[in-house]
Structure 1
């Protein structure tokens, strides 16, 4: 069974690891699609902090990940076809956007499975970025106060 999931995987953290380990437990092979900066910028206000090539390199180094590829369009059907996915794992924020409905239709027509997971609330890339900004701001305030 080939399991496929997609994401940005910016600032790789324990929540990502938990997701990927769960995905791997669903099958024999775990394939991960990594969103290019252009794709991320199409639905988020900021591009990732870590360059695409480095995000992919970190994912490839994980023992639970077997295949890593980038995708440059917000369309999951080509990735599912490329890896011949049996199970497509999606997050809890999945909605009824055209690209989501397209992959659902494709997978249903091929008698494949979509599995939805709940995000690990212990950490997130957004929270990490906010913490870094807060620490940086606090450090700047200390410098200004002592300078």
Structure 2
């Protein structure tokens, strides 16, 4: 009898990649056998955060794809397409940072939804601010 593999999906901008990003991705991968990551497009990031990313989407996607814990990467174009992405990648688990807690519970009808604790005192905004000063 073969064991069915579990696909985990997560999403993020992953701009100015830092240890918090790595820890989140590694923990997400621990929920399954395969980790698929949706990286926010430049346009989506701008609409979501009111500013463009520091690094362009093709570079951010290459960095995330190069990680040992990541199996596949794709472009995330909008929050409204989350269900479509979950179905397309046949996700068993949606793993997100706990700053999104409760926001994606609606998808528990098609997969397990988990919110992972963020690395304390680490954020892209804080890293950018530290570089500026």
TM-score scaled by structure 1? 0.80
Instruction: Give the aligned CA root-mean-square deviation in angstroms.
Output: 1.5
Give the SS at the match of 2:91: coil
Q: Distance in 2 between matches of 1:48 and 1:30?
A: 23
Q: Distance in 2 between matches of 1:124 and 1:29?
A: 25
Is there any run of 5+ residues in structure 2 with no aligned partner, and where? 1-5
Corresponding position: 1:69 with 2:74: yes
Go from structure 1 to structure 2 and tell me whether the alpha carbon gap of 1:95 and 1:123 turns closer, same or farther (over 3 Å shift): closer
Shift of 1:95: 6.0
| Deviant stretches of 4+, over 2 Å | 107-110
Aligned match of 1:117: 116
> Which deviations, in whole Å up to 9, do the C-alpha atoms of 1:37-62 show, x marking residues without a partner?
11112221211100000000001110
- Report if the CA contact (8 A) 1:10-1:55 is conserved: yes
Is there any run of 5+ residues in structure 1 with no aligned partner, and where? 135-147
> Which deviations, in whole Å up to 9, do the C-alpha atoms of 1:78-131 show, x marking residues without a partner?
2111211000012222266xxx4xx543x3333x20001111124221111101
- Report if the CA contact (8 A) 1:10-1:50 is conserved: yes
> Which deviations, in whole Å up to 9, do the C-alpha atoms of 1:12-51 show, x marking residues without a partner?
1111000000011110000000111111122212111000
- Report if the CA contact (8 A) 1:104-1:114 is conserved: yes
Larger Rg: 1
TM-score scaled by structure 2? 0.88
Q: Among residues 45, 52, 56, which one is paired with 1:47 in the alignment?
A: 52
Give the SS at the match of 1:38: helix
Structure with the bigger percentage of helix: 1
Q: Distance in 2 between matches of 1:29 and 1:21?
A: 11
Pairs aligned (count) = 127
